[in-house]
Amino acid sequence: MELWFTEHHTEHVKFSMKVKEQLVNKQSDFQHIAVLDTEEFGRVLTLDGYLMVTEKDEFIYHDMIVHVPMATNLNIKKVLVIGAGDGGTIRELTRYPGIEHIDMVEIDPMVVETCKEYIPQTACSLEDKRVHIYYEDGLKFVRRMRDEYDLIIVDSTDPFGPGEGLFTKEFYGNCYNALNDKGILVNQHESTYYDEYVEAMKRAHQRIKETFAIAKVYQAHIPTYPSGHWLFGFASKHYDPEKDLDVEQWNALGIKTKYYNTKLHLGAFALPNYVKEQLSEYE
Amino acid sequence: MTYTQQNSPIHEALVKHKKNRVVHFDVPGHKGGRGNPELTQFLGAECLKVDVNSMKPLDNLIHPTSVIKAAEELAAEAFGAEAAFFMVNGTTAAVQAMIMSSCKAGEKIIMPRNVHRSAINALVVCGAIPVYVNPGVNRNLGIPLGMSIEEIKKAITANPDAKAIFVNNPTYYGICSNLEEIVSLAHDNNMRVLVDEAHGAHFYFGENLPISAMAAGADMAAASMHKTGGSLTQSSFLLCGKGVDPGYVRQIINLTQTTSGSYLLMASLDISRKHMYQHGKEIIEKTIDLSDYARNEINKLGGYYAFSTEIINGDTIYNFDRTKLSIYTGDIGLAGIEVYDLLQSEYDIQIEFGDIGNILAIISAGDRAFEIERLLSSLSEIKRRYGKDKVGMLNHEYIDPDVVLTPQTAFYSDKKSILLKDSLNHIAGEFVMCYPPGIPILAPGERITKDIIDYIIYAKEKGSVLTGPKDMKVEYINIVD
């Protein structure tokens, strides 16, 4: 008998991996949650049937969403992470001794519980003393904050479903308020290879650009995400991720990474032409 | 067959009809959708299959004897009415049927001036004469209120021959009048009470809501099931109390209603009645919770005022419908219509309407917590990005109309078109209103005053959609020659 997990990357493209065993299959108040043990990718978390994290390639996503802003401003002390129930983003953040306080806002407690039990590889740092977890709507949490954070990381699901509110103009505006005058906002930015994601990404980028003085997009290669080519948004009131990258200081921290390095940091902002064209369409 | 509230007779008959695989040599010509593939693909084959015409097993809306009759009886029972009619031409048709079955040409009807255009349209059609009662305005919020008992008493004393009192209950903003007292006054003076319950269909199904028209003893009510009861747009109920002859009302309805009543609309009314009867309490409870939460959070933002039962004053605000989320925006220096436009263009949020001082968001069982959060965050952003000092905001005042001619006489008079700005002291030959909410600023037969011209120009500047006049740009107005 063979058991396969399949995700539709488009209506006409499927991505499948062979499953050894399904470890979790449950419904929370917000979404369907499953954990699969797979032959190739190790343990895999899916939400509403969409793949979120695999043990084998999560390091790429989490390196890129954390170390790019951290190497741009080494004085980051207070961080807000929205989403990130799997804990991978928190794990990378807690490697910086300079960070004093991390607020994590996740809407679904069941995701966190599940990852703590079944995917300790990512959830291992959620008990760190600096981490404060709030189970509520990210939009609601951030709306109440003023001038509070050095960095906000939006580690959300896709712009359809529970994460929908995190791709809206009002959310970016509220993040702007919640950041201090040198604050940085990093978000997962979907992919633009397949047509059905293009509009969502372009709109998200346009909305960020309208809100922040600096708004750039960078990329990473993530094998299990649709097309494998994934984008992140970097927005800031002050820091430019290319000009302000502090190569020496970051390397002096001695943080060992599997994907990120400071040369790749700069290279990640060199986008393919078709992506550049898509991004500039609204400009 | 005996039906209970667990049944939906029209819906059940349609399901059965679909199973029978009847061959159709009747209208509609799309024949279950086969004749119009693009429409079928768009709306769905199942939908097109039940878009059928009257036939024996499905009854006939003009003269119901079987399943429509049964469905109307169930609706009457569910609403606590003596009789109920399925309306497929909007609540507008229900409002007109109420007025036309209560007043003939030349007879008087007492009504607040802030009625929906459908009520004054009924007067244009039937020739009844309006006696307007000043609804009173809340100066802080700039909204018209309910009917004051004293004003009604005065109107009754001055017009003892009036046939009916027409009440908007609740208003668009959720404000209720003292219906029981109005009914008692009216009945003591041999007048009917007709209630435009376009925004109150849910009053019949929830707890902790203002009293419904039928429960208050009103003679007729137009309950817009499609607004807050879950049925399809354009479907509505006309309800009758004791002492109203349903046979005559049916004749009046049939004067103007289609002879090809849509089964999609009728089935939607039938299913919604059943759904609300079964689940109304939880639905309304959830709606009130969402709405109260939103109000509370909006009031914390500062600059906005989402009002609720604290504005109750025992008379012109006798009660308040907490499912309505009405928000005063004047204190952030923006007109309601400006906030409405910003929500739409900048934040992809569509609300019900914005007028000069307020916006209204309709909250229903279909809303989810995260959509409410989007509205709250957007309002917070609009305040931050666009908020300004409260200057140059026109204070909305009730403009007491000077009715020179009846709406019918004015509408059918010879008219000429002149520039709005030159129309001072002339008699209007047509309506002018912002839509929504569709409450006329000027109705046919009323004298045009400086206040009215200023108000129309101001509303246009702020971006309100003005309707009524033949001139779509509302630069010119038709006056009675």
This complex has an ipTM of 0.74
| A239 neighbors A49 (Cβ within 8 angstroms) | no
Q: State the burial class of residue B159 (Cβ atoms within 10 Å of its Cβ: 0-12, 13-18, 19+).
A: middle
**A280 contact partners, CB below 8 Å, separation of at least 6:** none
What are the angstrom distances between the C-alpha of B471 and each of B91, B355, B431?
A: 26, 21, 11
Nearest to B460 by CA among B475, B445, B448: B475
d(CA A189, CA A219): 9
Q: Binding site for spermidine: residue ranges of A? A: 62, 86, 155-158
For B91, the enclosing helix (H) or strand (E) is: helix B90-100
- Residue A42's CATH number: 2.30.140.10
Q: Which residues of B touch A164 (CB under 8 A)?
A: 370
Tokens representing B408?
């019918």
Catalytic residue among A155, A195, A244, A246: A155
Q: Number of helices (H) and strands (E), helices first, in chain B?
A: 15, 20
Same-domain check for residues B214 and B65:
yes
| B374 neighbors B408 (Cβ within 8 angstroms) | no
Instruction: State mean pLDDT over B334-355.
Output: 91
* Residue B347: closest C-alpha in chain A: A169
Tokens representing B185?
């006054």
- Asked whether the beta carbons of residue B374 and residue A137 sit closer than 8 angstroms, the reply is no
Same-domain check for residues A44 and A108:
no
Low-confidence ranges of chain A (pLDDT < 50): none
> DSSP class of residue B145?
-
Instruction: State mean pLDDT over B276-297.
Output: 95
> Between helices B67-79 and B9-19, what is the axis angle to 10°?
150
- Asked whether the beta carbons of residue B380 and residue A170 sit closer than 8 angstroms, the reply is yes
Q: Say if A101 is an interface residue toward chain B (CB within 8 Å).
A: no
Same-domain check for residues B436 and B476:
yes
- Whether the per-residue pLDDT at B240 is higher than 80: the answer is yes
DSSP string, A224-272: TSTTSEEEEEEEESS--TTTS--HHHHHHTT---SS--HHHHHHHT---
Q: Which residues of B touch A (CB under 8 A)?
A: 346-348, 369-370, 373-374, 376-378, 380-381, 384-385
Q: Residue A161: its pLDDT value, please?
A: 63
A54, A72, A89 - which closes a domain: A54
Same-domain check for residues A45 and A158:
no
- Residue B362's CATH number: 3.90.1150.10
Q: Say if A137 is an interface residue toward chain B (CB within 8 Å).
A: yes
- Residue A143's CATH number: 3.40.50.150
By Cβ distance, the residue of A162, A165, A177 closest to B374 is: A165
Q: Residue A165: its pLDDT value, please?
A: 73
B290, B293, B373, B385, best to mutate vs chain A, most A CBs in 10 Å: B373
| B403 neighbors B130 (Cβ within 8 angstroms) | yes
B374, B379, B386, best to mutate vs chain A, most A CBs in 10 Å: B374
Same-domain check for residues B427 and B473:
yes
Cα A110-A112-A118 angle, rounded to 5 deg: 95
Q: Is residue B397 part of a domain?
A: no
Q: Residue A132: its pLDDT value, please?
A: 97
Beta-bridge partners for A47: A33, A50
Q: Is residue B103 part of a domain?
A: yes
| B351 neighbors B361 (Cβ within 8 angstroms) | yes
Q: Say if A203 is an interface residue toward chain B (CB within 8 Å).
A: no
* pLDDT per position as a tens digit, B259-279: 999 999 999 999 999 999 999
Q: Is residue B394 part of a domain?
A: no
Q: Residue B436: its pLDDT value, please?
A: 65
Q: Is A101 helix (H, G, I), strand (E, B) or coil?
A: strand
Residue B443: pLDDT band with limits 50, 70, 90: confident
B276, B310, B337 - which closes a domain: B276
Same-domain check for residues A12 and A65:
no
Q: Residue B456: its pLDDT value, please?
A: 87
What are the angstrom distances between the C-alpha of A216 and each of A156, A171, A266, A278, B51?
A: 18, 18, 12, 13, 52
d(CA B47, CA B32): 9
* Residue B379: closest C-alpha in chain A: A170
Q: Which residue has the tokens 């409260």?
A: B390
A244 catalytic per annotation: no
What are the angstrom distances between the C-alpha of B114 and each of B87, B234, B318?
A: 23, 22, 17
d(CA B170, CA B198): 8
Q: Residue B86: its pLDDT value, please?
A: 98
Q: Kindly report the nearest CA distance between residue A274 and chain B, in angstroms.
A: 27
**A155 contact partners, CB below 8 Å, separation of at least 6:** A65, A81, A82, A83, A84, A89, A187, A188
d(CA B59, CA B68): 6
Tokens representing B221?
């009510």
- Asked whether the beta carbons of residue B347 and residue A174 sit closer than 8 angstroms, the reply is no
By Cβ distance, the residue of A137, A162, A170 closest to B378 is: A170
Q: Kindly report the nearest CA distance between residue B379 and chain A, in angstroms.
A: 8
Same-domain check for residues A45 and A70:
no
* The residue type at A215: A
Q: Kindly report the nearest CA distance between residue A171 and chain B, in angstroms.
A: 7
> DSSP class of residue B410?
H
- Whether the per-residue pLDDT at B396 is higher than 60: the answer is no
Q: Say if A146 is an interface residue toward chain B (CB within 8 Å).
A: no
* pLDDT per position as a tens digit, B126-145: 999 999 988 878 878 888 89
A31, A54, A77 - which closes a domain: A54
* pLDDT per position as a tens digit, B412-442: 999 999 999 899 999 999 888 876 667 788 8
| Residue A69 preceded by cis peptide, ω within 30 | no
B351, B386, B421 - which closes a domain: B386
* Residue B343: closest C-alpha in chain A: A170
**A167 contact partners, CB below 8 Å, separation of at least 6:** A156, A159, A200, A203, A204, A207
d(CA A109, CA A89): 16
Q: Which residues of A touch B381 (CB under 8 A)?
A: 169-170, 173-174
Q: Is residue B255 part of a domain?
A: yes
- Asked whether the beta carbons of residue A170 and residue B384 sit closer than 8 angstroms, the reply is no
- Asked whether the beta carbons of residue B369 and residue A137 sit closer than 8 angstroms, the reply is yes
Q: State the burial class of residue B384 (Cβ atoms within 10 Å of its Cβ: 0-12, 13-18, 19+).
A: middle
Q: Is residue B401 part of a domain?
A: no
> DSSP class of residue B202?
G
Q: Say if A162 is an interface residue toward chain B (CB within 8 Å).
A: yes
How many domains is chain A partitioned into structurally? 2
- Asked whether the beta carbons of residue A143 and residue B347 sit closer than 8 angstroms, the reply is no
Same-domain check for residues A104 and A50:
no
Q: Which residues of B touch A174 (CB under 8 A)?
A: 377, 380-381
* pLDDT per position as a tens digit, B172-212: 999 999 999 999 999 999 999 999 999 999 999 999 999 99
Q: Kindly report the nearest CA distance between residue B369 and chain A, in angstroms.
A: 9
Q: Kindly report the nearest CA distance between residue A179 and chain B, in angstroms.
A: 14
| CA-based torsion, B419, B424, B430, B434: positive or negative | positive
- Residue B470's CATH number: 3.90.105.10
How many CB atoms are located within 10 Å of the residue B168 CB?
27
* Residue A210: closest C-alpha in chain B: B346
Q: Residue B434: its pLDDT value, please?
A: 77
Q: Is residue B228 part of a domain?
A: yes
* Residue A176: closest C-alpha in chain B: B381
Q: Kindly report the nearest CA distance between residue A170 and chain B, in angstroms.
A: 5
> DSSP class of residue B110?
E
Residue A211: which domain range? 58-280
Q: Binding site: residue ranges of A? A: 31, 62, 86, 106, 137-138, 155-158, 162
Contacts 24+ apart (CB under 8 A), A53-57: A53/A86, A53/A88, A53/A119, A53/A122, A54/A224, A55/A119, A55/A121, A55/A122, A56/A224, A57/A222, A57/A223, A57/A224
Same-domain check for residues B57 and B196:
yes
Same-domain check for residues B326 and B452:
no
Tokens representing B39?
């429409």
Same-domain check for residues A103 and A131:
yes
For B106, the enclosing helix (H) or strand (E) is: none
* pLDDT per position as a tens digit, B43-89: 999 999 999 999 999 999 999 999 999 999 999 999 999 999 999 99
Residue B427: which domain range? 407-480
d(CA A60, CA A259): 6
Same-domain check for residues B294 and B271:
no
Q: Which residues of A touch B378 (CB under 8 A)?
A: 168-170
Same-domain check for residues B263 and B284:
no
Half-sphere exposure of B374 (CA within 13 A, CB side): 22
